[in-house]
Amino acid sequence: MKKLICLAVAILPMMASAQYKSKVWCPDNGDGTYTNPVINADYSDPDVCVGPSGEDYYLTASSFQCIPGLPILHSRDLVNWEIINYAVRELEPKSEFDRPQHGNGIWAPSIRYHNGEYYIYWGDPDHGVMMVKTKDPAGEWTKPLCVIEGKGYIDTTPLWDDDGRCYLVNGWANSRAKFASVLTVRELSADGTRAIGQPVIVFDGNGTENRTCEGPKFYKRDGWYWIMCPAGGVPTGFQLAMRSKSPYGPYEHKIVLAQGKTSINGPHQGGWVHTKYGEDWFLHFQDKEAYGRVVHLQPVDWSSGWPIMGKKGEPVTRYQKPKASSTVAIVNPVESDEFNSPTMGLQWQWHANYDEKFGVPTAFGTFRIYTYKLSEGWKNFWEVPNLLLQKTPADEFTVTTKLRFTSKADGQFGGLIMMGLDYSALVVRRMGQSFQLVQMTCKAADKGKQQTENVIATLKPTATDKTEYKPGIHEDIYLRLKVADSKLHFAYSSDGKKFTDCGSEFQMKEGKWIGAKFGYISAETDANADRGWVEADWIRVEK
């Protein structure tokens, strides 16, 4: 347990704002160049805007059912990014999102600055076009407003025209609308809160190489209306740019970014930004399967009248950094956590709307995750909402955590997990007056398959309650997972110094529209028992 926690609380705001440098991936080379990806984590469907100073860039990305949702990242050079906030604290209707809704919720958002406020629009494919706004991206955002109600709307972007009129472009989800590969434009009210016009199909990729055209972003430049969108499929597609003199088209189009001879597959879907220094850049994703969709930065050349991205339309790996007014400190999205703050770290998300019975920070320098009551007849962890998880930060990394598991009843368990459509967890489980160390693995969890278990060792408890009132027993342990080439190996230790490799190798698998995520599992099968809990002391991400 950490010492002097009470004294530390006084300086927590300063600690929370300290700049974090990753030990496993940093795109800034320190010599005026950067290496892609600029964010080597699953910030899928990224979009970006620049604030009124011209020096502050804000990025958001899809978050689906994970809460808090709509991450807000900040940068001053488009290379060094840090997580500063989330725009959504709870998804509605609560009757749905209080339990995991894998792959539903927030799809492909857009972020825009207009008339003193920041707006984010997204399509919830089951409920409609949603919007939140704020004057301060690091502050409080409004509750989600439904701008257009209905099924099938996805990938929405507003454009406020020079005359103050507002237009919205969107794609369509075949899984809900039963058609796709078309883009539609309609007019919204000037305040962007409701539709006042009917949709018009402005682009149709059906039956062409431009199938799966979606994820459109709407811009205006030099009198031209521009829609930039991906097409051709997520793993192997390309980026289109299309232009017209009217928001309603017709649009001529051109491929402006594709894999070509590079190793960067499917470089598409993202946001264009014009800087105060006259430079143009495009942030997009690359699908890396189990690692999710990571973020790349490409220069944009408008000299031909079209936004040709990368190097002659092919993605760059290493390039000169964007211009900035001063030297920008190296900073990366936070990964490790000492759990010294009275608030949850910004790297963490739950798998459904938050309930205080999931877990809370403590005043003791730990984070407590209570055991979730599994349903009768449960087969795997696909139903568990209190998974406390974060994104994978690199192709190769090691995660080590120190934790204590406190159990109040037989069968309660907790530990470290890598979660996706397939998952594997290393947990301690109470069995009588001792614990078992168990690897729990499931393939095709989304299909309702039964998990398998491998008992690795029997552990004696490190402490037992001395009182007779609702006694519990405790196990202090260090758990570790190592990742390389999307393969996972576990290890454990009793002292944090000597680790024993254990369990079977696990092939990581992405989740539903998200990459695999790692973190904590805490659960049990007894509906009537007092809850046990995982007390996470720290977690560290290193090479």
DSSP for 369-398? Answer: EEPEEPPTT--SGGG-S--EEEE--SSSEE
**Would you state the pLDDT for residue 466?**
76
Residue 3 has pLDDT above 60, yes or no: no
**Would you state the pLDDT for residue 469?**
77
At a CB cut-off of 8 Å and minimum separation 6, what does 171 contact?
Answer: 108, 123, 154, 155, 180, 182, 183, 213, 214, 215, 216, 229
Contact 412, 374 (CB under 8 A): no
Whole-prediction pTM value? 0.96
Handedness of CA 25, 28, 34, 37 (dihedral sign): positive
Residue 218 has pLDDT above 50, yes or no: yes
CB atoms within 10 A of CB 190: 14
Lowest-pLDDT choice from 131-140, 416-425, 464-473: 464-473
Distances (CA, A) of 384 to 1, 53, 421, 430: 28, 43, 13, 19
- HEC profile for 188-231? ECCCCCCECCCCEEEEECCCCCCCCCCCCEEEEECCEEEEEEEE
Supply 361's token pair.
């920070």
pLDDT-derived band at 151 (thresholds 50, 70, 90) equals very high
Supply 132's token pair.
């939140």
At residue 308, φ and ψ (nearest 5 deg) are: -75, 125
CB atoms within 10 A of CB 274: 15
d(CA 103, CA 100): 9
Residue 243 has pLDDT above 70, yes or no: yes
Contacts of 199-205 with CB under 8 Å at 24 or more apart are 200/248, 200/249, 202/169, 202/227, 202/244, 202/248, 202/249, 202/250, 202/251, 203/227, 203/229, 203/242, 203/249, 203/251, 203/253, 205/181, 205/231
pLDDT in tens, 326-338: 899 999 999 999 9
> What DSSP string describes 295-307?
EEEEEEE-TTSS-
Mean residue pLDDT of the chain comes to 95
**Would you state the pLDDT for residue 205?**
97
d(CA 484, CA 398): 9
**Would you state the pLDDT for residue 2?**
54
**Would you state the pLDDT for residue 11?**
40
**Would you state the pLDDT for residue 508?**
98
**Segment 269-278 mean pLDDT:** 98
**Would you state the pLDDT for residue 52?**
97
Residue 419 has pLDDT above 80, yes or no: yes
**Would you state the pLDDT for residue 68?**
98
Contact 253, 203 (CB under 8 A): yes
At residue 216, φ and ψ (nearest 5 deg) are: -75, 145
Residue 527 has pLDDT above 80, yes or no: yes
Return the beta strands (E) in 382-472 as ranges.
388-391, 397-407, 413-419, 423-431, 434-442, 452-459, 463-464
**Would you state the pLDDT for residue 16?**
43
d(CA 239, CA 539): 38
pLDDT in tens, 87-113: 999 999 999 999 999 999 999 999 999
Residue type, 57: Y
At a CB cut-off of 8 Å and minimum separation 6, what does 252 contact?
Answer: 242, 243, 244
Nearest CA to 439 out of 418, 421, 453 is that of 453
